[in-house]
Amino acid sequence: MRIVTGGIAQETNTFQWQPTTLADFERLGFGGVARGAEILALEGTGTVYGGAVAEARRLGVELVPTTYGGVMPGGRVARAAYDALAEEILTGVRAALPVDGVLLVLHGAMALADADDAEGPLLAAVREIVGPGVPIVAPLDLHTNLSDEMVAVADGLVGYKEYPHVDMPQTGAAALRMLVATIRGEIRPAMAFARLPLIVPNQAMVTTWQSPLKDAIDRARELEREPGVVAATVLGGFPFADVPFAGVSTIVVTDGDTALARRSADELAAICWAQRDDFAVRPTPIGEAIAAAMAAPAGSVHVLADIADSGASGTAGDGTAILRGLIEAGARSAAVAQIMDAEAVAACAAAGVGSEISLTVGGKHDGLHGPPLSVTGRVRLIHEGSFPLAGPMGAGTMASRGRTAVLEIGGPGGIELQLTELRGHPHDLNYFRAFGIEPTERRILVLKSAAHFRAAFEPIATRVVEVDAPGISSPKLTGFAYERLRRPIYPLDAEAWWERETKP
Ligand SMILES: [Zn+2]
């Protein structure tokens, strides 16, 4: 049995003006394009391929790798970048023929400069090559904005059930198993989906606590244990995408039972719809969060999550509002990961380690995350920027934010500010440890992360606080100027109505 595989994975924040380029995909540790055997070498890592490659080996099937490009979330993907990667994948699929199946690894919320849906057309292009008789299965991110075309073209879709996404390997393995069972004729996938008129903030999708989305995901796990159900998925969607089909959706794959798939997809959607008011997130004012952290007993670790400027939601990560609050409050034992500012990094490097320097940091990318802030500090470290991830998410892979400077504000024991050349996604303890900062020994950790940080930081945190700062990943969705999103939609339009709901 031969299964050809490849894919493109990016999550698009359409409120980010800066396009995502091929150079971004190719940048090691920020993105990364794996080709041929490099895909198979991902076996065992905390990634989708980490599980899919291992499962293929276990089942004794041959995986024929093409190209897989993944990159940090960001702005719409440049057409040239998509075309180049897609062409590599399609050429690889053609060269691999004849094949028994296709495993296409996608994110599910990628938009192009000139197209709201990237995944549907990619699936369709693969279908055109392999024909109608060869099954195509795709694993998806929980933040997928599901398009009609994706469902129409794929034979099977299955999404992550955890946020933070600690189950990427399990999802890759599940997709591979579904594909192999289909090829062997053990199952005949029948798929149905439901899309709610509902967008919800990321924080209400977290599964480390009983979030509104988790209630539906728990039911999906139960459904998967019932006879005839192959996979049940609840997708929270990605709300910072101004595309017509953004939002919460569900997908159920059964063994040949279309009615069961339809009924189950609707049941999962109904659980979310019934709780639509509970998805609202009310972040804590900056001053309140800092004061509580400073008043906490010695040894406390307060994580202040800058959820509105989350690199993993495609923001620049150069917001200054919380740093300003720390300085004004005279905070001590605080570490900030991070502020993207290549100019500031260059200034620190030019001054040299040990130098005292005054400069403005952050707020330069789009002016939506607080204005540039004047600071004075001592340059403590210049680092080339790449380091291994300890996990649980992405364990065994490398991260990079480009050259990084640590600036110490307020003297020893004050505020340790990381300045980086590239956007970052501080979801791993090594985002501090690699730069000589021990996170368990700091009173305040500021993380520009929506929720992924929880996997590594909840275990060391006394308290996690979602802070109310400005930005293009803010949970206050009514503040976004949507133009392409379908309407009416909740919570933007109170009159939004799900057509499958039985009217009272
Ligand atoms: Zn995601």
Q: What is the pLDDT of residues 364-408, one digit of tens each?
A: 999 999 999 999 999 999 999 999 999 888 888 899 999 999 999
Q: What is the mean pLDDT of residues 101-127?
A: 98
180-230 pLDDT, tens digit per residue, is 999 999 999 999 999 999 999 999 999 999 999 999 999 999 999 999 999
CB 353, CB 380: distance < 8 Å: yes
Q: What is the mean pLDDT of residues 9-13?
A: 98
**What pLDDT, on the 0 to 100 scale, is given for residue 499?**
84
pLDDT above 70 (res 250): yes
pTM of the predicted protein model: 0.96
pLDDT above 70 (res 503): no
Q: What is the mean pLDDT of residues 3-26?
A: 98
39-59 pLDDT, tens digit per residue, is 999 999 999 999 999 999 999
CA 141 to ligand 1 center in whole angstroms? 5
Residues 6+ apart with CB under 8 A from 452: 163, 164, 165, 312, 393, 425, 427
Q: What is the mean pLDDT of residues 125-135?
A: 98
Residues 6+ apart with CB under 8 A from 376: 356, 357, 358, 409
- Helix (H) or strand (E) run with residue 172 in it: helix 168-183
Rounded CA-CA distance 96/91 in Å is: 9
CA 225 to ligand 1 center in whole angstroms? 25
Confidence of residue 28 (pLDDT cuts 50, 70, 90): confident
Q: What is the mean pLDDT of residues 72-81?
A: 98
CA 167 to ligand 1 center in whole angstroms? 11
CA 165 to ligand 1 center in whole angstroms? 7
Mean pLDDT of the chain: 97
- Helix (H) or strand (E) run with residue 312 in it: none
CA 164 to ligand 1 center in whole angstroms? 8
Question: Which residues have CB atoms below 5 A from the ion given as ligand 1?
Answer: 141, 143
Q: What is the mean pLDDT of residues 157-161?
A: 98
SS (H, E, C) 462-501: CEEEEEECCCCCCCCHHHCCCCCCCCCCECCCCCCCCCCC
Q: Which two tokens stand for residue 18?
A: 């800066």
Rounded CA-CA distance 93/128 in Å is: 11
The string of DSSP letters for 257-284 reads: -HHHHHHHHHHHHHHHHHTGGGG---PE
**What pLDDT, on the 0 to 100 scale, is given for residue 32?**
92
Confidence of residue 502 (pLDDT cuts 50, 70, 90): low
Neighbours of 295 (CB within 10 A): 9
